[in-house]
Amino acid sequence: MSVHIAFETPKDVQDSVYELVKLVGSGEGRLKKGSNEVTKAAERGTAKMIVMAENVNPAELLAHIPLICKEKKIPFIYVEDQAYLAEAAGMSSGAKTAAIALMEVSKGAQEAFSGVKDQADALN
């Protein structure tokens, strides 16, 4: 397991995370992409949830984020692939993102958000 990964996320849970990111990325809320933006959102305590990719190289790029999330009580969860995470977030084809911060979740995505948040809390 990589240095930034605090727990394993089951495949079915990852699928619901990707679906949530797709919903929010398609206008059902607002998100920030990339480790710098995610770090700022976490430090400010403005993120509703943080999603990190497991296959980040170097892994130390995200090592500080789970610590900040725990301190600020922000739920966080992992998905396997940063390219698929970028695609789910609506980024251009071939793009990758190490992490995503969900900043706002509209009513249309609230149920999906609550489900993923409960699963993240249970895993953590």
State yes or no: pLDDT of 1 exceeds 70: no
Q: How many domains does the chain have?
A: 1
Measured CA angle at 42 (ends 40, 48), to 5 deg: 125
**pTM confidence score:** 0.94
State yes or no: pLDDT of 84 exceeds 90: yes
In terms of residue numbers, what domain contains 69?
11-123
Residue 110 pLDDT: 95
- Report the distance separating Cα 111 and Cα 86, nearest Å: 22
Total H helices, total E strands in the chain: 5, 4
pLDDT in tens, 6-44: 889 999 999 999 999 999 999 999 999 999 999 999 999
φ, ψ of residue 103 to 5 degrees: the values are -95, -40
- Report the distance separating Cα 110 and Cα 95, nearest Å: 27
Residue 5 pLDDT: 85
pLDDT in tens, 42-69: 999 999 999 999 999 998 999 999 999 9
Q: Is residue 2 part of a domain?
A: no
Q: Is residue 104 part of a domain?
A: yes
What CATH number is given to the structural domain containing 18? Answer: 3.30.1330.30
